[in-house]
Amino acid sequence: MSQSLGIGFALVAALTTASSHALLKSGEDQAAVRALCGATWAGAAAIPLMFTGLPTPAMLPWLGGAVALHSVYSLVLTRSYTLNDFSVAFPIARGTAPLIATVGGALLFSEIPGFGEIAGVAAICAGILSLSAGGRIGTAGLVAALTAGTLTAAYTIVDAGGMRASEGILPFLCWFFFATGIALVIQFRASAGPAAAKRMRNNLRLGLAAGSLAIVSFGSTLVALRYAPVAVVSALRETCILVSIVIAWIAMKERITPHSLTAAILIAAGALLLLLSHLPPST
């Protein structure tokens, strides 16, 4: 039952992550929008923290690692997008993450994937990575994109450790949003200087909307990682790209090319394999 609950939350994360990314990309000043996401996270978590208490000693190392990794990831991802076209960098960054997370989950949490899980993760990653085919990318850009993918896998593993070390769902969840949110705001203030406040005011509505949606997507991912294997959650979360393709087709009337259709079929097949491998036994 608990694994099924985790998989359900992973699917919610996939649906909401696509919308969250779309909002973030729609802004002209993405750094300011990301900082506003952080401010939204910290503000939303402040009141629940009054009831969850201080982080436990078991949870503290995971929390520190999560905040550090998410902060560095934000910088590296931004760097990757400045070096590459988004359509090339994003699939590389997100397509490599589940592969690394699968290995990390096996090493750290003894979550040895079965054949169905391995096949599902491989199909999803192949579908995502295929979306970058044909795009141009230099050595520096490739390194940045692969680093972003590695950091995604690393923070996924650390987030799982934190949620499992937490005495309940809320303590790590709330401390994560509060601490990471503050870190993102400080990071933006340090890079933007005196113009930070004005840039945030100019993007207030979009930032608050993206931040609120990101609470749902990240929160769902964190809850999923408490109950389901890291490999499964990581791979299912990345099916957000499939959701993005469908949204672009239905809402934006974009034409689906044979290339994107093949990628979508691979991603959908991988997700189906993962779901079938975790069906509860019939009685």
pLDDT of 88 reads: 72
Comparing CA positions, the residue from 105, 100, 113 lying closest to residue 159 is: 105
Q: Which of the listed ranges 15-24, 90-99, 106-115 does the model predict with the highest average pLDDT?
A: 106-115
Comparing CA positions, the residue from 262, 257, 232 lying closest to residue 128 is: 262
CA 78, chain centre distance (Å): 15
pLDDT at 106 over 60: yes
pLDDT of 159 reads: 97
pLDDT of 59 reads: 95
Outline where DSSP puts E strands in the chain: none
pLDDT at 283 over 90: no
pLDDT of 98 reads: 95
| pLDDT category of residue 1 using cuts at 50, 70 and 90 | low
| pLDDT category of residue 81 using cuts at 50, 70 and 90 | low
Q: What is the mean pLDDT of residues 218-230?
A: 95
pLDDT at 135 over 80: no
Q: What is the mean pLDDT of residues 149-169?
A: 95
The whole-angstrom separation of Cα 264 and Cα 130 is 10
User: What residue spans define the domains of the chain?
Assistant: 2-277
CA 61, chain centre distance (Å): 20
Cβ–Cβ under 8 Å, residues 10 and 220: yes
| pLDDT category of residue 87 using cuts at 50, 70 and 90 | low
